[in-house]
Amino acid sequence: KQEVTQIPAALSVPEGENLVLNCSFTDSAIYNLQWFRQDPGKGLTSLLLIQSSQREQTSGRLNASLDKSSGRSTLYIAASQPGDSATYLCAVLMDSNYQLIWGAGTKLIIKP
């Protein structure tokens, strides 16, 4: 059974720092992996989707990597800003169905 873990559960850093959020999964036979952002009391926004055949995806200051063999993905945020404060969730899609397997999220606070 696939399990997705995100460490740390919470992270607080000063504005301007580069940071890395981690996501690990136990079954490497994934179809894709998505990183989402969720602001308090709001829905989720898909930030990046990495297909199983890809190693990384980039969007602006965000870069997500995928290493299936080790069961790991990282989300790199460059030059962090207070507006980046949110909860970041990763989720993997198995090729058997439409159900995403979610991590519990990392709550990120960027201090001005």
Which region, judged by CB under 8 A, interacts with another protein, from 15-23, 59-67, 70-78, 90-98? Answer: 90-98
Q: Using CB under 8 A, count the residues that bind another protein.
A: 24
User: Would you give the DSSP letter of residue 17?
Assistant: -
The answer for 105, left when phi > 0, alpha when psi is -120 to 50, beta otherwise, is left
37, two tokens: 């952002």
Q: Would you count residue 89 as binding another protein (CB under 8 A)?
A: yes
Phi, psi of 32 (to 5 degrees): -160, 175
Instruction: Pick the closer one to another protein by CB: 19 or 44.
Output: 44
Residues found near another protein in the complex (CB under 8 A)? 31-32, 34, 41-46, 49, 51, 89, 91, 93, 95-100, 102-105
